[in-house]
Amino acid sequence: MSDRIESTKPLTEESSDSTKTAVAVMIMIVTLLGTVFAFLQSQASNEEARAAREAESASLRSMVKVNEAGRSIGRDNLAYGLWSDHEWLRYSYDLTATAGGPNSAYARLLSEVEGAVSSELEQYSMMLQGEEYALEDGTYDYALFYEELYAPSYEAAEFDEQYATERDAWGGKADAFVAVITVLAVALFLLGLSSTITPAVRKQFIVAGGVVAAVAAIWGAATYLRGVQAPSPKAIDDYVAATVEVNTAEDVEDYERAIARLDSAIEEREGYANAFLVRGNAYFNLDFLNSDGPQGSEDALADFNRALESNPDDWVSIGNVGAVHYWLGNYEASLENTEGTTRPPWRTPKRRWRSNRTIRSYL
């Protein structure tokens, strides 16, 4: 009997040694994983900080461009106003000179003076110098002039928003890696504890530590593979150009050209909410150019709904959805979008009742 017991001792010791070796290997692997994910967390944090700096820079650039556009428009309005006044005086003196009489020579001289002054003032007006702003009826396209001046601020604002989105995405990855590292620390604790407890429960701790480590590894790998969308300069260029076209459009061709640009922007940047919103506006306005009057636009409705998917609290898109439903004849849906349970704070109950009363009259 004693011989049998002695013969089993080497097997028990060998089994214990193999278990310790397996635990040591697992601890080494978990430690290595922790090191890798710590590096990835640091990298994600650095990318988050970079995107944050880019977003702040773009935000500042946007404000600067808005101020520059405002000052340019102010200076141009002053120059144009003075030019218009002197042109009117020149025209009046021309009429007097043409009519003849004792004052015709003097009026002709004053007309030449006013013409010289207006020519000088014309040099200070970008709108008067730009041939693209001159209309056939002798007036000028103020909307196009203003939009082109504000276009750089639109571009900077888009970069600001897209860099902020990238910053948040990298921040989410960095936070996830911190959580993964914490879970790996729990796995290390369980594996380390397994070597200090009785053999009867050692296996359970080893299995638990291995499972926790596997879950952390899968989580970390999924986080690493999760893509981060960087700003797209081409998409922004198409968006800004289309925004200017939509805001200054006068005919079907203008809207169709803007829609084509927005198609390109959306293809370039997946889920481009602002592009969906502007394209929805283009479809909505295009519907009003129908020869039979507005019929409603399913394309506009689809784009506004896509914009809401990215920002459910966007009251502009919510109102747009209600407006499209109204023209489509979906009065119940239109009413639902204008008197939902969550209402914009600037809409008083009395104003909401007035806007909804019109819709209710069709029900």
User: 274, 282, 345: which is closest to 308 by C-alpha?
Assistant: 274
Q: Which long-range contacts (CB under 8 A, 24 or more apart) does 258-261 make?
A: 258/282, 259/283, 259/286
User: 133, 78, 136: which is closest to 248 by C-alpha?
Assistant: 133
- What is the structure's pLDDT at 99? 82
Distance of CA 263 to the CA centre of its chain: 16
Q: How far is CA 122 from CA 72, 79, 108, in A?
A: 15, 7, 21
Q: How confident is residue 329, by pLDDT bands cut at 50, 70 and 90?
A: confident
Q: How far is CA 25 from CA 19, 22, 126, in A?
A: 10, 5, 74
| CA–CA gap between residue 180 and residue 189 (Å, rounded) | 14
pLDDT for residue 2 is more than 70: no
- Over residues 106-139, the pLDDT tens digits come to 888 998 999 899 888 888 888 888 888 888 887 8
Average pLDDT over residues 339-352: 49
The fold for domain 1-231 equals: Helix Hairpins (1.10.287)
User: 211, 212, 192: which is closest to 202 by C-alpha?
Assistant: 192
- 233-360 CATH pick, 3.10.450.630, 1.25.40.10, 3.20.20.140, 3.90.180.10: 1.25.40.10
Q: Is 134 helix (H, G, I), strand (E, B) or coil?
A: strand
pLDDT for residue 357 is more than 70: no
User: What tokens appear for 311 in the block?
Assistant: 């920002």
Q: Which residues lie closer than 8 Å to 33 by C-beta, 6 or more apart?
A: 184, 213, 216, 217, 220
Torsions phi, psi of 134, nearest 5? -75, 130
The model's pTM: 0.79
Q: Is 224 helix (H, G, I), strand (E, B) or coil?
A: helix
What single string gives the DSSP state of each residue in 245-281?
A: HHHH--SHHHHHHHHHHHHHHHHHSTT-HHHHHHHHH
Residue ranges of the chain that CATH labels 1.25.40.10: 233-360
User: What tokens appear for 337 in the block?
Assistant: 């979008």
Q: Is 282 helix (H, G, I), strand (E, B) or coil?
A: helix
- What is the structure's pLDDT at 124? 86
- What is the structure's pLDDT at 343? 54
DSSP alpha helix (H) spans, 123-198: 126-129, 142-194
pLDDT for residue 158 is more than 80: yes
- What is the structure's pLDDT at 67? 94
Residue ranges of the chain that CATH labels 1.10.287: 1-231
Q: Is 22 helix (H, G, I), strand (E, B) or coil?
A: helix
C-beta separation of 172 from 7 below 8 A = no
User: To which residue do tokens 């002197």 refer?
Assistant: 86
| CA–CA gap between residue 11 and residue 227 (Å, rounded) | 51
C-beta separation of 124 from 86 below 8 A = no
User: What tokens appear for 138 in the block?
Assistant: 């002798």
Average pLDDT over residues 170-186: 96
Distance of CA 278 to the CA centre of its chain: 12
| CA–CA gap between residue 52 and residue 44 (Å, rounded) | 12
- Over residues 219-236, the pLDDT tens digits come to 999 999 999 999 999 999
Average pLDDT over residues 140-167: 92
134 beta partners: 140
